[in-house]
Amino acid sequence: MSEVRYCYHEFVQMLYLGANSYDLAMRLFRYCEPGAATLGNTYSVSILDQVTCASATSVTTIRDTFYQINFGDQCYTPPGLCVETHIYRGSISFLANNPNGYMSTWSLCCRNTILNVNANNLGLYTKFPDPALAGGNSTPLFVDYPTDGYFCIGFDKQIDFSCTDADGDSLAYFLVNPINTFTGCTPNLLGWNAGFNLTNILGPGSLCTINSSTGIVTARPAQLGKYVISVKVIEYRNGVKIGETVRDIQYAALRCSYNSKPVLENFSARSIFEFDEEKCIDLVANDPNGNDTFFLQISSNAFQFGAVVNLPAPTGGVYVFEWEDATTGLVDTAQISNVRKINSTTFEGVGKVGARFCWDVNECEILSLDSFYIEALGYSLGCDGSKDTVSRRVSVPIKRDPYSYNVPNVFSPNDDGINDLFYLKKDAYDRCFDALNVRVYNRWGQIVFESEDAKFTWDGTDQNGSKLSEGTYFVVLQGFYGGKEVTENFPLTLFR
């Protein structure tokens, strides 16, 4: 005899139409393995008094929708996993007011072989309040069967058991025992197999918990097989319980082969840039899944000071990138042809992508900031539609050559081209910080030369342009030179 195989969703959603009338929708999910029995075109759902269990009516549901679920994505498609969706609909034209409320029940033989329970019949129910309840009530509607409806051994899986509620009622979610059949309106529960129970639904070494506010189940199976998880949602209005619905769902635990995450090449996480010089560094990332569309995004707080990222000039349609391996110190290279710049900071390619960061460090404001960085983010689209990412932050310290200056104490302005001018050492000048006042006095204390230019030169003439006589003069420096504070007085001898 063929075996009926199901993967189960919530039982019935009662959609309140007003005037004590309801639409009833039942979703069933059938495991369509070879040899599995088929589902019928119609099923009868019983409507009972919640308290007395007396029969109120029955509803004939007719299958009006059928389709097979396509599992997996570009990263992983589970082999041999086949599940069908069957939706049955019926209606109740009039249901008498009843302060006890009603309960709809349905059961069917038989479940397929399941690892965590003694598989037998499938039983599902929903409880809903007196039709006379102010505003009426539609029962919560569970989300559709997910296209990633399978476990991967050793990996956490989040299963969405959440509901929407047309009336805006409060919902709370709980893990419960799966149902076998009913005695009247009393559920007969399935028995757990050895090693499994309600607090250990997926067995030894596993995890199965639920967020009572969101209905998200976090599960991690430890062994292969098919498992059933059952969830009850309780509906509250103004703090009073008005109904509940049970849904169970079957997941197969598989050994999965996931998409490999991207990696960054082993370029250094520190790169020194020198002030008043331009430097470029290459950043490269790759996706081991060589056919994946891959992106490299560069961010930096140096962009506001003129830094840019581009592709290097191609050679024969190939872009060549170079970097020093942070471990070996050797130069590594990557030749990439299938890459393009899609905006000012993002590059796209297949398998491997590179970018060249260049910065001419020439703005004085840069020296007043503590640190700069480059953030390289490589990503491809992950199996769940999110980004599989890898990132590295490169610190960028700014180096300045140490400044020093010497003070000549003799000069000879005789136009022989040798030592004709008095000035401070030119290569010590710091254009970002230096501001200097220089005064030269004769031996009677009279100023013969004065300048506010740190790069001054003095040719031995007074302020009227007349040549001064040989002798000793006195120089006073005040301000900053070579990036350092200067306060100096010293003698200077003039020869002709």
258-307 tens-digit pLDDT: 667 789 999 999 999 998 899 999 999 988 877 778 899 999 999 999 99
CA–CA separation, 44 and 52 (whole Å)? 20
Domain boundary among 358, 379, 399: 399
Kindly report the average pLDDT of the chain as a whole number.
Answer: 88
CA–CA separation, 95 and 421 (whole Å)? 112
Is the domain of 489 the same as that of 391?
A: no
In a domain, 477, yes or no: yes
Is the domain of 340 the same as that of 467?
A: no
Domain boundary among 227, 254, 281: 254
DSSP state of 85: E
Is the domain of 417 the same as that of 288?
A: no
pLDDT at residue 335, rounded to an integer: 94
pLDDT at residue 259, rounded to an integer: 66
Cβ contact 230:178 at 8 Å: yes
Among candidate residues 196, 256, 197, the one with its CA nearest the CA of residue 224: 256
Q: Provide the total of helices (H) and of strands (E) in the chain, helices listed first.
A: 0, 38
Is the domain of 302 the same as that of 338?
A: yes
Cβ contact 311:368 at 8 Å: no
pTM of the full predicted structure?
Answer: 0.55
Residue with tokens 């899986």: 157
Cβ contact 346:321 at 8 Å: no
Is the domain of 85 the same as that of 117?
A: yes
In a domain, 249, yes or no: yes
Is the domain of 46 the same as that of 118?
A: yes
Exposed / middle / buried, residue 412 (Cβ in 10 Å: 0-12, 13-18, 19+) = middle
Is the domain of 325 the same as that of 350?
A: yes
- Highest mean pLDDT range out of 151-155, 270-274, 479-483? 270-274
Strands 240-254 and 150-152: parallel
Structurally, the chain folds into a number of domains equal to: 3
Is the domain of 246 the same as that of 274?
A: no
Is the domain of 63 the same as that of 129?
A: yes
Please report which confidence band the pLDDT of residue 404 belongs to, taking 50, 70 and 90 as the band edges.
Answer: low
Strands 339-341 and 398-399: unpaired
Is the domain of 170 the same as that of 285?
A: no
In a domain, 404, yes or no: no
In a domain, 116, yes or no: yes
In a domain, 425, yes or no: yes
Look up the CATH number of the domain holding residue 272: 2.60.40
Q: Each residue of 198-220: pLDDT tens digit?
A: 999 999 999 999 999 999 999 99
Is the domain of 119 the same as that of 139?
A: yes
In a domain, 405, yes or no: no
Range of the domain at 208: 3-254
Domain boundary among 220, 254, 288: 254
Is the domain of 108 the same as that of 244?
A: yes
Residue 70 CA, distance from chain mean position? 26
